[in-house]
Structure 1
């Protein structure tokens, strides 16, 4: 399952660095960007991070490793994430998370894309319990929240 959402950044600074922003995001700032965000922890300088999120009745723990950490693009992969359906039943999940700042004319947009790999049985079950709806809703709120945090920091 692949989901993507983008929004216009209210302000932008040429000195802004998306990777720097992500790897210095405090837990308080992470919580403020999306109601389902539970915890964030950075591993090493930019080696990866652990994210804990609650999405549509499932708790998801992602152990991301950094694939790309650039000024306008970050790609994180967590091939061995764990989802807890109803916060109880463990299931393996693979997650790729990409963030990009894209110039569109005189404006900049922020795009967040997630690609979730589920085992076949879980994929079938997820469609019956509206998981795609909850993931999309989470992603839209997260993307908009991240963009607001970035714009606030860039306007200072």
Structure 2
């Protein structure tokens, strides 16, 4: 992200009780049932899958963060069994109108031992030009928006990470979520 403005850069880890050889993060991500996505956070509303105009797999997620509805269009940029990178220009619906932000979502696992892995869930967001115009028109300084947004986004990532890890673990072991 270089010298660009960053809204949030948060990373959390959790243990997965499954051998790394059984982990396939892209398969998990692009087959995750909507109910299980919702189970991973009370902010998660809906999830679905499609393809980008270029033909890459895309995960479409809807969630509410800080009172704003976000529709994320995550396009796969790197897809390996233990490493998935997704990019989205996400729609954000606020009480003051609609705008966009850029979100980089990176999920990875590293082997701890023969039966466990460390899962890392990293989310980085930065403003689009449209977003900067949007907050400028409202007289909101970027640093103020950033200061208000960070706690919400960091908390969201922190609370969903162990639940994503549990979901990936179930997927790796061929288990279903019993709701």
TM-score (norm 1): 0.86
Residue 31 of structure 2 corresponds to: 24
Q: How does 1:4-153 map to 2 (within 5 A)?
A: 4-12=11-19, 14-44=21-51, 47-78=57-88, 80-86=89-95, 88-105=96-113, 107-118=116-127, 119-120=131-132, 121=135, 123-128=142-147, 130-153=148-171
1:13 CA displacement:
5.2
Query: Which of these two proteins has the greater Rg computed from alpha carbons?
Result: 2
1:109 CA displacement:
0.6
Unaligned segments of structure 2, at least 5 residues: 1-7
Q: Which moved more, 1:63-72 or 1:114-123?
A: 114-123
**Separation (CA, whole Å) in 2 of partners of 1:115 and 1:28:** 25
Unaligned segments of structure 1, at least 5 residues: none
Runs of 4+ in 1 over 6 A off after TM superposition: none
Task: Describe the superposition over 1:92-129 as per-residue Cα deviations: whole angstroms up to 9, x where unpaired.
Answer: 2001111001123554111011110124446334235x
1:46 CA displacement:
5.6
In structure 2, the residue corresponding to 1:14 is in which secondary structure? helix
Task: Describe the superposition over 1:54-91 as per-residue Cα deviations: whole angstroms up to 9, x where unpaired.
Answer: 1121111111211011100111101x2111224x5212
RMSD (Å) for aligned C-alpha atoms: 2.1
In structure 2, the residue corresponding to 1:24 is in which secondary structure? coil
TM-score (norm 2): 0.76
